[in-house]
Chain A
Amino acid sequence: METRGKLRDRKYNSARQFLPIAALIGLLIMGMALLAACGGDETETADTAVETEATSAGATDETTEASENAESVDAVQVGLLEPLSGPFADNGKMARLGTEMAVEEINANGGIKSLGGAKIELVIKDTGAAAPAQVANQLQSMIEQNDLSAVIGAWASSYTLAASTVAEQAGVPMVTESFADDITGRGYKYIFKIPASAELMGEEAVAKVLELAEEVGYEITTAAVVADNTSAATVSANAAADRLVARGVDVPVREFFTPGLTEGNSLAIKVLATDPQLIFVQGALSDMALLQNAFKEQGYEGPVLGAGSGFVVHDYGKTVGEAANGAFSSAGWNWDMPGEAAKNFAEQFVAKNPEFDFPGQEAGEDYAAMYIIAQALENAGSADPQAVRDALAEIDITEGPATILASGKVSFDETGMLEDTLPVIIQWQDGKPYTVAPESIASRDPIALGQ
């Protein structure tokens, strides 16, 4: 038995010797963890619980009256692969809420009638903050473990690019709310993309802001571009900078920061030193909140422009506060789209989810995506993914819930792009994003710049 005093004494000494090492180890561990959490490409295994939701809403009244060539199945499985936790959780959750709402409605209305009233069963998987390659594996095992007729996902461009390759090889059609243009440019047959091209959206956003500036006589000669150094943000920031330069605007600062800022003042000092009349910002919500407030405090009154992501998160207005007012962004969808269907959806969504005062971008996109898939199943009369894919390629919807999209109708071109899509340009006004361009779908006039 060691004596009490000596025990303490000895351990105490070793503890002292160990301290700086422990502190350094700790610092390094934390540093690595931070990088892992923030660097978009880093690996962090997320909980990959597969939740299966058999939505059993009401018994089917219209009993099986299947056409001859149609199979009769009890349920059709559709996958939903979204970032439900991690940095994009807000976006992923919106996607889930929209999709689930569509599934409930479809099932309550008698399911897929050509399949004998088959119910849609959602197979949900959380990508977490995993690396893109892992997301591909997640989809692979989802496909192996279930009989998916189609899949919706996977929000982030990098995730979608990786996952769509798996979907293509497995022959399962994938409908995505992702922006990136490369997704449809690869000759894939099984990918269908809801939002307008990122190129188009970026172009339209810059054009709109410059046009508006000209209208009110606000001269934009210098702009600054600030984004976090994750690949998605870097790409859209560089694209915006190039567009501005192409229009004769000087962009002396392109600043890429590591996500997880602890303060915004120093970046604001640097950016505002170039005296910009327009600032493009892209990054996670918390970082944008710090930056935009710092810009504002240091006297910047010009417009702020973003490209989706954090700018269309429901909480953006609340989190960024007053500095959010007037911020422009492109979006894949907005809650104030014209038409009855969109109005109904927005109202019902808020009634169902009272914690939100409007449905977010992904909720609308994936609500429509689910209806598009349901229609394809209906048309195909089969749960076979190949048949669903063919039906999707041929689909032509002009009425019903799927028309809440900006295009107001649904059909895909041979690359899988939604035809006649419009780039939605929103501006935050009084805590909500309003569509301000293009004119055909705008619900409000933009607030003038420099105010």
Chain B
Amino acid sequence: MIEILFILSLVVVSALLAVTSRNIVFAVIALLTTNISLGVAYFMMGAPTVALFQLAIFAGAVVVFFVITVMLTTGGDVEFDDDSVPWINKTTQLVLAAASVLVLLGVSLTREIAFPYLEYASSALETLMFSPTNYDDITTAVSQFLWQHRGFDLVSQSFVVLAAVICCIALLKIRRDHE
């Protein structure tokens, strides 16, 4: 119980730092921390494949994109520091972080928010819910499900990735005739 709360506090604090840090490089590193700790949280919650994707795509590829963008442009120079919110400094960041951890721990440990899980489920509901004995079971079941049942979405999704590639080409292509 305590370990997931620790990870979730880490997620919340690093997300807070990611949006408040004045220096963009710190912000990106905080985002990386958020994504990695979320990956760990997914693993602990019993979703190893999602954790893998989280680490590979959000903590890997996306953060690399962020780093490339920042380093190719401002390079994290103090000149480009964000001062749009004047009252944010080290002290207020600390206060905010402490406050959000307090909220997280306080609400989690004292209250119980009931979610009506599957309360409205239809009588005809089919589900492939199963009881795993180890992580291998989950990995197998999820990847099987993904290929067998979600093949349609998987194929459509590859078109989205293709469209994104074309988008980036259209945006970043350099043509001599008008540059």
Partners in one complex: no
B contacts, CB < 8 Å to A: none
